[in-house]
Amino acid sequence: MTTVETASPRLPLAVDKLGVLIAAVAAVAAFMPFAAFRANRIVLGEAKGIFAALPGWEATLLVLVLLAGMAIAITKVPTLWRLATSLVVVALLFVAVGQAGTYLTPPGDRIARVSPGGGFWLLVFAFALLAADAITRLRLKPWRRIAVLAAVAAFFAILLASGTLNDLSILREYFNRGETFWREAQTHLELALGSLVAATVAGIPIGILCYRSDALRAPVLNVLNAIQTIPSIALFGLLIAPLAWVAANVPGAALLGVAGVGAAPAMVALFAYSLLPVVANTVVGLQGVPPAADDAARGMGMTDWQRLVQVQFPLAFPVILTGIRIVLVQNIGLATIAALIGGGGFGVFVFQGVTQTAMDLVLLGAVPTVALAFAAAVVLDAAVELVSPREIPRD
């Protein structure tokens, strides 16, 4: 009788494919400059790796945490662990880069500048991607996603209030321009939100008319599509001459703030860009209303207006809100270009930094713009999900 020996089965190592890519990006970033030191805000920086930018024990701790984060990213551990790990690593990276600013800046030197390096930004991107992937896999409910966003915002507020980041060049630029920063922040929000409100007020009725009139729908949508193809800088420029003529020839226009440069052409351009998503989503949303619901409302004796207000619009609202979300995120970014024609906003710092070759000044305008757009996307995504009708489970 022959005995056949069977080897004990080996459990395959569970590897996460996206995690492998994230870990590879993080590994490359770890060898890139973590921070850059400059004698002043204009001269070229001296790249510093992790061990040159931080004291020995802090650099070692950071590398060990990064290795642990990469290991967790690669393996298929519980998703909640992946989320917690990614958030901890991102938080530690910001604390570490703040410490690098303090460590590299000579005592009492107010001219030297320390900036986050390319390696730092790439590491933040890699582990932020890991966090986003974990949140997607967890399928968090809308309020929980907003709670995560609020927790992240609270962490950065505490970090800024603690002074940990004060020696970084972007904060030094802020301290030199604090009053101007908040004034331009207000202008940026006024441009983005004001154009959004105007486009919503005008775009929804236009969308309803396009939904009801086949003859009107194609020409209106074609014109709005054509406006979207015009580059933003070109559209801002094209509006200078006609608005300057209006300000000079129409009584009272100048008193209302209409001018060839400034906020007026910026607001008009952003309004024009905003119309297509609102109008198109209104049409699509109304077209997506189930015919059975409309027929039932008609059978109950509802008038066209009652059916629109009580049945069609509520059912189409999630799609319309999706268009509003697109507009808000788009306008937060496009409002940066308004600075080129004197419209103000965070673009003031971006273009000043470009002309002065001061990248920290560029970041002072770019970072809050990106943060605002990201926060707006998260909040409105959650709002769309909250107002969307629940699917009825089938047996």
How far apart are alpha carbons 133 and 150 in whole angstroms?
18
Question: Which pLDDT belongs to residue 140?
Answer: 84
Amino acid at 308: L
Q: 258 with 369, same domain? A: yes
Task: Please provide the distance, in angstroms rounded to a whole number, between the alpha carbons at the two ends of the chain.
Answer: 55
For residue 335, what is the DSSP state? G
Report if residue 232 sits inside a domain: yes
Same domain? 192 vs 85: no
DSSP symbols for 303-322: -HHHHIIIIIHHHHHHHHHH
Q: Is residue 144 part of a domain?
A: no
Separation of alpha carbons 23 and 20, rounded Å: 5
The two most distant CA atoms of the chain are separated, in Å, by 110
- 116 φ, ψ (degrees, to nearest 5): -60, 140
How many Å apart are CA 300 and CA 165, to the nearest integer? Answer: 64
pLDDT the model gives residue 93: 95
Is the domain of 231 the same as that of 279? yes
Same domain, 217 and 317: yes
Is 4 a member of any domain? no
Whether 165 maps to a domain, the answer reads no
Q: Residue 270 carries which side chain, given as an amino acid letter? A: L
The domain boundary, picked from 112, 139, 166, lies at: 139
Which residues sit opposite 75 in a β-bridge? 15
CATH code at position 287: 1.10.3720.10
CA 339 to chain centre: 19
List for the chain the helix, strand, coil content (%; round to 5).
75, 5, 25
Number of separate domains in the chain? 2
Residue 170 domain-assigned (yes or no): no
Cα separations (Å) of 354 from 42, 43, 318, 347?
11, 14, 40, 10
Which among 108, 139, 170 is the end of a domain?
139
Residues 208 and 115 in one domain: no
Measured CA to CA, the distance from residue 296 to residue 200 in angstroms comes to 29
69 and 204 assigned to the same domain? no
CA 78 to chain CA centroid, nearest Å: 28
User: Among 114, 139, 164, which residue terminates a domain?
Assistant: 139
Q: What is the C-alpha separation between 292 and 299, in angstroms, rounded?
A: 10
| Cα gap 34→47, rounded to integer Å | 8
- Same-domain pairing of 127 and 245: no
- The answer as to whether 216 is a domain residue is yes
How confident is the model at residue 392, as a pLDDT?
A: 43
Write the CB contacts of 12 (distance below 8 Å, at least 6 apart in sequence): none
Residue 131 inside a domain? The answer is yes
pLDDT number for residue 300:
81
Looking at residue 11, its pLDDT comes to: 44
pLDDT of residue 259: 67
Q: How far are the Cα atoms of 6, 12, 161 from residue 9, in angstroms, in the given order?
A: 9, 9, 55
Q: Are residues 129 and 219 in the same domain?
A: no
Q: 198 and 72: one domain?
A: no
Q: Are 112 and 37 in contact (CB under 8 A)?
A: yes
In a domain, 394, yes or no: no
* Same domain flag for 133 and 186: no
Q: Are residues 244 and 380 in the same domain?
A: yes
Give the Cα separation of 260 and 57 in Å (integer).
58
What pLDDT is attached to residue 16? 84
Residues of the chain with pLDDT under 70: 1-13, 252-260, 390-395
Reference 368, options 191, 234, 174; nearest CA is 174
Quick one: which of 370, 352, 367 has its CA closest to 171?
Answer: 367
DSSP state, 15? B
Q: How many CB atoms neighbour CB 388 within 10 A?
A: 14
- Which two structure tokens, joined as six digits, stand for 75? 């393996």
Does 343 lie in the same domain as 252?
yes
- Which residues span the domain enclosing 124? 17-139
